[in-house]
Amino acid sequence: KAGVTQTPRYLIKTRGQQVTLSCSPISGHRSVSWYQQTPGQGLQFLFEYFSETQRNKGNFPGRFSGRQFSNSRSEMNVSTLELGDSALYLCASSLGQVLKSGNTIYFGEGSWLTVV
């Protein structure tokens, strides 16, 4: 079974630009969540989608947005990029809407974003 797939793996953007990152969850998984990983802040939750609906959102500005499609694939978008947005963006998928006992979150390899 293929794991969580994220594209692109690496990208460089200029301040002020926008970026879209893509995530394909494990087949059958309907919950997709996004995390930002930086050396200073560690792993921080961005948002989570289930059945095309955002179920939970972290403490990030409105420049960070996402969506989920009917096939459970998800995209996240960051507009008006700032230098501080440079990070590894991780996508994770799980089987159900709720991380019940027995459900596990599986992570992708991430998309490395560098803002210059």
Residue 105 in contact with residue 93, Cβ under 8 Å?
Answer: yes
Q: Please tell me whether residue 108 binds another protein under the rule CB under 8 A.
A: yes
Q: Please tell me whether residue 112 binds another protein under the rule CB under 8 A.
A: no
Q: Please tell me whether residue 25 binds another protein under the rule CB under 8 A.
A: no
Among 24, 31, 68, 72, binds another protein (CB under 8 A): 31
DSSP state of 83: G
Residue whose CB is less far from another protein, 82 or 109: 109
Which residues are near another protein by CB under 8 A?
A: 3-4, 31, 33, 35, 41-45, 48, 50, 55-56, 58, 90, 92, 94, 96-99, 101, 103-110
